[in-house]
Amino acid sequence: FKYLIQILTKKMKFSISSAALIAGVAFLTDVNAFSLNTPSFIRQQQVSTDFTLYATMAESGSPPASSTTSTVSDGEIPTNLPSDMGMDYVPLATMLATGQLAEADQFTRDALIKLCGATEKGRNFVYWTEVKLIPSTDLATIERLWNKFSGGKFGYSVQKKKWRQSKNDFEVFCRKIGWTTKDGDVERKKRWFGASEFIYDVKKAPEGHLPLTSALRGTSLIKQLLTHPVWENDDWKIEP
């Protein structure tokens, strides 16, 4: 019996170590196709924090609905939205202008995956080392749209400001932008699978709450996004 316990213990240690090794590689991922990030994996590993930030929507079957929507006239939707990769950002502008923030968040994630070249390689995720491949032109266009339609409340530039205020401490950063919640006295990261706990409402969400970035496998990805060369100056703010 003791021998059996030793074998099981070794297997458990190997399993946890393997998961930790895999978790050390950060991805920007299409949450509908995130193989390791399934609810069953989460339950098996019994981790309610590291492995549930921006978790898969496999259980819900569809993106979470935005809290509020509105209508806009065609003139309110900008059409001069430059891209070095031939991307069409009018859908993103329309989603943001009409308050479809959950949909805009998903569009942004999908766009960044394509901009990194992962789609051409048959992947629905990118390695954090590929973030630098995102053209500054495209990231600036995406950022201007998020800023414009949130009144300066959302966007990566806002998150960068919060990141600096947090002195590069990820836990403090998450609290500042509302990516954590409390179960009684226990603080944890918000969940995405099942019923999303994130706030898709400009009026109710804290500054920097959106767009979401997966930190499921480490914080390298969001660090790379927030230190992208496009943020080195304020040129991204200039309308084309």
pLDDT in tens, 57-93: 333 334 555 555 666 665 689 989 999 999 999 999 9
Q: How many CB atoms lie within 10 A of CB 163?
A: 23
Q: How many CB atoms lie within 10 A of CB 203?
A: 9
Q: Which pTM value belongs to this model?
A: 0.74
**pLDDT of 136 strictly over 50:** yes
Which structure tokens are listed for 60?
A: 């819900």
Tens digit of each residue's pLDDT (9 = 90 or more) over 172-203: 999 999 999 999 999 999 987 777 899 999 99
**pLDDT of 31 strictly over 50:** no
| pLDDT score for 70 | 64
H or E stretch covering 180: strand 180-183
Mean pLDDT of 196-218: 91
Which structure tokens are listed for 68?
A: 């509020």
Q: At which residue do the structure tokens 């600096």 appear? A: 164
Which structure tokens are listed for 168?
A: 């590069």
126 forms beta bridges with 28
| pLDDT score for 192 | 76
